[in-house]
Amino acid sequence: MLNRRDLGKKIGVGMAVAGTVGIGPFPAKAARVPRKNTKMHVCGDYHAVVGGKGADMAGKANLEYNLRHGIRHLTIRKRSWHGAWDLDEMKRWKDNCDKHGVILEAIRMEDDYIRLRKGLERDRMIETIQENIRKASSAGIQVITYHWRMIPIRRNRKKTGRGGVTYSGFKLEKDWRDLRAGKAGKVDSDEYWERIDYFLQKIIPVAAEYKVKMACHPYDPPGLPFGYQGVENWDSPSVFDAIKRYQSLFESPWNGFQICLGTLAEGLKNPGREVLPIVEYLAERGKIHDIHMRNIQGGLGDFYEVFPDEGEMDFFEIIRILRDYQYPGAITPDHMPSHPDDPDKLQALAFGFGYIKALIHAANSEV
């Protein structure tokens, strides 16, 4: 296992070598200039599926639901795919999307790999992921999103919001030290970063060869104290510092992030102010490959997930940043409040679709 000092040396050497061969590190782009952005777009995904989460996302009913709300891009997730992907099914998805005028833009990868320690099993899983990247490229899929999640997403409270919806939230437990470790067992920061480094060194070269963007979703919520459920999470204690470190391990335009704005906010004391420099830092470097637009009330260690128009973050200013740096990718509403009349959250996500489309239209109308 690499210790912090050894891993730091390895990172430094890697960046120096990358610089000599023109791979990176990547400098910031030109200064921010207000200008129209016709490439960023709203995207549908697995958070709202007609027929429920197990239904066919590329089926007629789900594609028409998205089209009715002006959505022509889609991220697909097959929750039963914990190993090799089925290329024939991926091509069927692509064909169905093409017939309906929808772009199959991204696929979500399950996170079994994260709990694998050194050994043959991990190497076999890495080889499977490499082959899945090749399959994604063959099916015309541009982005693979993934999630370093050593312990489950943490939510431990609810409250009623506008119109009788339920907001889901989290408050750091006073007795968090007494929580049992999860399936991953105890994992310290050095081991966690060793796994990330190993993954990136093996995966990003294949992604670059096949021109598939790898988009890492931060753990949700970031900023948990070290040792929470036995794990020292990679995006703790500072999610911004962790993101910078992550991208420095392998500098490549194919190594980037699925920036979940709600997740970032959950790791910040003042989300409304602190999230903007993170978005700008990544946007000017071309490191954002996908965006989840979720808002929260609260902040680090104490928050609720709410509708996009009632939280801490100014999404209009974020859209302006993305506009000016010519972000070309997807923006997807995410983790909407629930209601008994809307069990699959189709109404809530439709509101999110329209809200984001209006923000993009308004921002482009300014310039």
In the β-sheet with 302-306, what is the strand arrangement from edge to edge?
Answer: 157-160, 166-171, 302-306, 295-299
**pLDDT tens-digit profile of 61-100?**
999 999 999 999 999 998 778 889 999 999 999 999 999 9
What does the DSSP assignment read for 285-319?
A: TT-EEEEEE-EEEEETTEEEEE-TTSSSS-HHHHH
Do 71 and 346 meet the contact criterion of CB atoms below 8 Å apart? Answer: no
Q: pLDDT (tens digit, 0 to 9) for every residue of the chain, 367 residues total?
A: 444 444 444 444 344 333 333 334 455 665 799 999 999 999 999 998 999 888 999 999 999 999 999 999 999 998 778 889 999 999 999 999 999 999 999 999 988 777 777 788 889 999 999 999 999 999 999 999 999 888 999 999 999 999 999 999 999 999 999 999 988 899 999 999 999 999 999 999 999 999 999 999 999 999 999 999 999 999 999 999 999 999 999 999 999 999 999 999 999 999 999 999 999 999 999 999 999 999 999 999 999 999 999 999 999 999 999 999 999 999 999 999 999 999 999 999 999 999 999 999 999 999 9
pLDDT of residue 360: 99
DSSP-H helix ranges across the chain = 4-21, 60-68, 87-99, 120-138, 189-210, 239-249, 261-266, 271-284, 315-324, 346-365
Collect all residues with Cβ–Cβ distance below 8 Å to 35 and sequence separation of at least 6.
323, 324, 326, 367
Do 197 and 10 meet the contact criterion of CB atoms below 8 Å apart? Answer: yes
pLDDT of residue 29: 64
Q: Which residue has the tokens 């093409």?
A: 98
User: In the structure encoding, which two tokens stand for residue 331, read together?
Assistant: 């923006």
Q: How many angstroms separate the CA atoms of 225 and 217, rounded?
A: 19
Domains and CATH numbers, the chain: 33-365 (3.20.20.150)
pLDDT of residue 70: 97
pLDDT of residue 26: 53
| DSSP assignment letter at 237 | S
Do 201 and 155 meet the contact criterion of CB atoms below 8 Å apart? Answer: no
Nearest-Å Rg of the Cα atoms of the chain is: 20
Helix crossing, 4-21 with 239-249: angle to 10°? 60
- Least Cα distance to 103 among 90, 111, 94, 114 occurs for 94
Cis bond leading into 25, ω under 30°?
yes
pTM of the model: 0.90
| DSSP assignment letter at 158 | E
Q: How many angstroms separate the CA atoms of 150 and 148, rounded?
A: 6
Q: How many angstroms separate the CA atoms of 181 and 18, rounded?
A: 38
Other Cβ atoms within 10 Å of 42 Cβ, number: 24
Do 304 and 167 meet the contact criterion of CB atoms below 8 Å apart? Answer: yes
Q: Which string of b and e fits 243-281 if b means at least 16 CB within 10 Å?
A: bebbbbbbbbbbbbbbbbbbbbbbbbeebeebbbebbbb
**Helix (H) or strand (E) segment spanning residue 55:** none
Do 252 and 19 meet the contact criterion of CB atoms below 8 Å apart? Answer: no
User: In the structure encoding, which two tokens stand for residue 10, read together?
Assistant: 């390895």
Strands 103-108, 73-77: pairing kind: parallel
